[in-house]
Structures are given as C-alpha cells and as structure tokens.
Amino acid sequence: MAWLGLSNRQSKRLAALALCCVSSVWADEPWLARVQSVEPNRVTLAIENAAESGPHSAVVAVDPQSGPSGIAPGQLIQVWPGQPPGPDGIWNQARLVPFERGPGVTDRTGVRARIMFGAQRGFGGGRGGR
Amino acid sequence: MLLFSCQTSADDIELSGEASVGYDTNPAQSHASEDLAFAHIALGAVKTLNLEQSDLRFALDGWYHDYEADNDSYRLSLSSAWSRPIARDRGLLTFSVSGAIYRDALVPADARNEGALTLRYDHILNARDTVGLSAEVRRLDYRNPSLPWSGRPGSGSGRQNSGGRCKPSGRQGPRRRSAALEQRRNDQRSTIALDATHAWSPTLSTRITLAHARNASTVALESYDRNGIGLLAQFMLNNAWRLESGLGWSRSDYSHTQRRLERRDEELNAALVIRHRRGARELFCSLDWIDSDSTIDVHSFRQQVAQCGMAWSF
C-alpha cells in the first residue's frame, strides 16, 4: 500500500479492518422462517429452509420493551440467528427482519422514489410526486 | 433545525405524521436556480381490512411544503390497495387505485390532478433474495395551460419574479398573444419496473431497480421515453441507527423538439439518509443531490436538498 502512503503496520491494520468488515457482511446464513406465535418477550418460528442437520424450529428472544415490531403469526420473515442458543434453548442474539413488500412500505423523504424503488413510488414523477 | 411530529392510533385506523425543515438550492428544478428554505409537514391515515385470503387497504395521505414567501405546494392523495398472498405466502400480488391533487404556487404549470392504476408482484426467492415487478398507468391532467416552449421558470421564459416564483398565466396586456398560444397539457405515463433485493448480512441489504417509462402528452414537446437504473443500500448500524444510501441514473429521450434539435436528458441523483429510532418515534436527516444534463441547455439543472425531521409511527 505504498501508493497510498501507508506504512507496513498501517497497511496490516487496514487489511485487518477490511477482513473484519467482510467477515461480518458475509457472516451466517439467514433462515426463511414462518412466525408461529408472538409473545411480548419471545417469538416462536418454523424454519422453512432448515438444513438437514440444523433446527427446524426455534424460539427467539426479543426485547420486551420494543417488542417484535412488524411481526405477526403466519408471516414469513428473514431471521439472522446469530450465536447458538443457551441451555434454555432460546436464541438470544437473533435478528428478525420482516420483508419489505406490499403497499405499506414507508418512504420518508422520498429517497426511494427518487432512486426508483418501484414504479408506483414515483419513477419519472418529477416535482410534486409521492 | 426545528423538529416536530405526532402520530396516534384510533381503533384500527392508523394515523401518522411527520414534520421536517430544510433547504433546497433549486426547488423549481430550473436552469437558473433560486434557493429557498422550507418546512414540510405530512399526515396520513390508513385503514386495513383483513379479508379471508387477502387484505384491503385504504389510505389518505397529504403533505404541505411551506417554502419561503408565497411559494407553497401541497399534495393530497387517496388510494386503495388490494393484496393477496400466493405461492404459500412467497408471493404477494397487489393491485391499487389512487387519485391525487397537486397544487404548486412556485411552478403553477406543474399543478395537476392524477389518477393511477398499479399492479405489483413481490416474490421471496429465498432467505436472502426477493424480486418485484411493478406496472403502472398514470393519468396527469394539468390545470394551467402553458407555452410549450417556455421551459421551466428561470430558464429564460421571463415569467419569474424576484422571489423565484412563476407568475400565473395572465391574459391581459402584452401577454395576450402568448396566452392564446398556451396549451392544455394531459399526460399518460406508463411505467414498468423490475427490482431485486439481496440481504448481504444482518446489517446490509441492497436493492437494484431497472425501470422504463413512456410519457405520452398532448403537448408534443413533453412526450418522452425514459430508462433508468437505481441502487439503494441500507445499513442497520444497530437497533436504533439506520443509514440509507442511494444512487440513480436515468435517460429521457424526447420524441419531439423545437427546430429539430434533439433533446436528451441524463439525470444522476444520489441520496443519503440517516435515521434514529427512539421507541415509536424516528428522527431523520437526508441529503439529496440531482444533476440533470440536457442536450438543450435551458433544461439542465442542479439541485441539492438537505432536511431533518421527526416522525412517529407504529
């Protein structure tokens, strides 16, 4: 990295940082899961893309203060499982992500309309759209 | 910047609001820009009916853009969307009908009534990937007749006052002959778009969109074909902070031009939004940048918009 004006030590630190970022970006494989039940502090899931050796269902802990936002029984969601569950069998670091689809997707500031996030949200709308 | 927002829920009707203030370097999107500060407020009400195997959603939305001086604009829209999951919920088909009125004191020529039919299909391919296909037909009936060659305010039409405001089309004095040549404008815009979303990690997802639009206008100079591509990246920095970054490009080829000059507009836009969620409230700030180059100089413009605000949603 001499062309960037970095020393060997700085280059190694930069490479380690990049490796850390890349490894976090392509970390674990997500689940496609159907929500079975929703409680204030936990969500029970059926895993639709379960590997043969992996779990076919899971109980995931959620923050009781914020709750499982935007999630309802029967819904298909994306789940990033994070660390394996503890002795109680509850996954404590999982992230539940509802798929953004349908007519209820918000577009504050209109950024998605301007970046052409679907025809109905204003591609080519010009001034006064959305 | 001043922030304000409110949202409440009454029975099963969701009421939401958001407010922001900001600065726009070229609100009229004209060649000769005139910058203006603004305050923006938006309100919405949504009622969803859960039918046996589908949902029916009614939405009433409105926003008011309060620019400096007498340059305000507002939009009211009413829409109804029917959506039905198919393929064991992997697919979602949505059909919507909407109508809107848009009024604009800054550029009266843009004031219009709109009606649109939209069909969209979303499909979950796997845990990481989704695709969507949209098709829309939109009718735009412009309220004020205008001279087809006058360009946008500030682009040399001479119809702009010192505050950057375009004067309404009068029919007296020396403008009488021009007024007789003003045309009513009705557009029909057909758009089709394909998008694909990929989740790279728990914290990063991207969406790429390809779109084509054809605008047929009673004012021949406003008929065009537009092709575009857009890329949107979302970073979930943690449970509270989210960053959205977008980049888009489009090219518009106009069917008819004056004096047989070819008109082709190329537009590049970029956006950066940061959001901070605090319970049911969300703070947000955004930066937008548009650079539109035309083969006919008076149609080129640059615009930057910065705004910050707050919203409250469930």
CA distance B295 to B253: 10
**Residue of chain A minimizing CA distance to B97:** A120
What was the pLDDT predicted at B205? 94
The answer to the question of residue B33 being in a domain is yes
Across B74-92, average pLDDT: 95
Q: How close is the nearest chain B Cα to the Cα of A111, in Å?
A: 6
The answer to the question of residue B166 being in a domain is no
CB–CB contact A114 B248 (8 Å): yes
**Residue of chain A minimizing CA distance to B239:** A95
The answer to the question of residue B228 being in a domain is yes
CA distance A62 to B90: 25
DSSP B233-289: EEEE-SSSEEEEEEEEEEEEEES--GGG---EEEEEEEEEEEEEEETTEEEEEEEEE
Across A35-44, average pLDDT: 93
Contacts with B230 (C-beta within 8 Å, 6 or more apart), sequence order: A115, A116, A117, B208, B209, B211, B246, B247, B248, B249
pLDDT band per the 50, 70, 90 thresholds, residue B301: very high
Per CB-CB distance under 8 Å, the chain B contacts of A103 are 57, 59, 79, 81, 83, 94, 96
What was the pLDDT predicted at A20? 47
Q: How close is the nearest chain B Cα to the Cα of A88, in Å?
A: 24
pLDDT band per the 50, 70, 90 thresholds, residue A63: confident
Residue B88: give its domain's CATH number. 2.40.160.40
Across B273-285, average pLDDT: 90
pLDDT band per the 50, 70, 90 thresholds, residue B103: very high
Q: By a Cβ cutoff of 8 Å, what residues of chain A touch chain B? A: 24-27, 29-32, 34, 49, 63, 66, 74-76, 78-80, 82, 95, 97, 99-104, 106, 108-109, 111-112, 114-120, 123-124, 126-128, 130
Please give the residue range of the domain that contains residue B204.
9-154+177-312
Query: For an interface test with B, which of A106, A115, A121, A130 has the most B Cβ atoms less than 10 Å from its Cβ?
Result: A115
What was the pLDDT predicted at B261? 83
Q: Hey, how many other C-beta atoms are within 10 angstroms of the C-beta on A47?
A: 18
The answer to the question of residue B189 being in a domain is yes
Per CB-CB distance under 8 Å, the chain A contacts of B102 are 128
CB–CB contact A66 B269 (8 Å): no
- AA identity, residue B110: D
- Judge whether residue B260 has pLDDT over 80: no
Mean pLDDT of chain B: 86
What was the pLDDT predicted at B12? 83
Q: What is the pLDDT of residues B192-206, one digit of tens each?
A: 999 999 999 999 999
The answer to the question of residue B76 being in a domain is yes
- Judge whether residue A18 has pLDDT over 80: no
Q: What is the pLDDT of residues B2-53, one digit of tens each?
A: 333 444 444 589 899 999 999 999 999 899 889 999 999 999 999 999 998 9
- Judge whether residue B63 has pLDDT over 90: yes
Q: How close is the nearest chain B Cα to the Cα of A18, in Å?
A: 15
What was the pLDDT predicted at B156? 39
CA distance B270 to B85: 34
CB–CB contact B126 A32 (8 Å): yes
ipTM of the predicted assembly exceeds 0.85: no
End-to-end CA distance of chain B: 24
What was the pLDDT predicted at B218? 92
CB–CB contact B197 A120 (8 Å): no
The answer to the question of residue B20 being in a domain is yes
- Judge whether residue B240 has pLDDT over 80: yes
CA distance B117 to B248: 24
Query: In total, how many domains does chain B have?
Result: 1
Which tops the pLDDT comparison, B286 or B154? B286
Cα distances (Å, whole numbers) of residue B270 to A130, B78, B158: 17, 29, 31
> Which of B72-79's residues contact partners 24+ apart within 8 Å by CB, and which partners?
B72/B105, B72/B106, B73/A127, B73/A128, B73/B102, B73/B103, B73/B104, B73/B105, B73/B106, B74/B102, B74/B103, B75/A128, B75/A130, B75/B100, B75/B101, B75/B102, B75/B103, B76/B100, B76/B101, B77/B101, B77/B114, B79/A103
Across B69-87, average pLDDT: 94
What was the pLDDT predicted at B5? 40
Instruction: Tell me A3's DSSP state.
Output: G
Cα distances (Å, whole numbers) of residue A55 to A33, A46, B172: 11, 9, 79
The answer to the question of residue B205 being in a domain is yes
Nearest residue, CB atoms, B110 vs list A49, A76, A127 = A127
Nearest residue, CB atoms, B81 vs list A66, A103, A117 = A103
Contacts with B112 (C-beta within 8 Å, 6 or more apart), sequence order: A128, B101, B102, B140, B141, B142, B143
The answer to the question of residue B164 being in a domain is no
The sign of the torsion formed by the CA atoms of B29, B33, B34, B40 equals positive
Which tops the pLDDT comparison, A15 or B201? B201
What was the pLDDT predicted at B263? 92
CB–CB contact A120 B134 (8 Å): yes
Collapse the DSSP code of A71 into the 3-class scheme (helix H, G, I; strand E, B; otherwise coil) and give the result: coil
CB–CB contact B92 A25 (8 Å): no
- Judge whether residue A32 has pLDDT over 50: yes
Angle (CA) B138-B249-B94 rounded to 5° is: 35
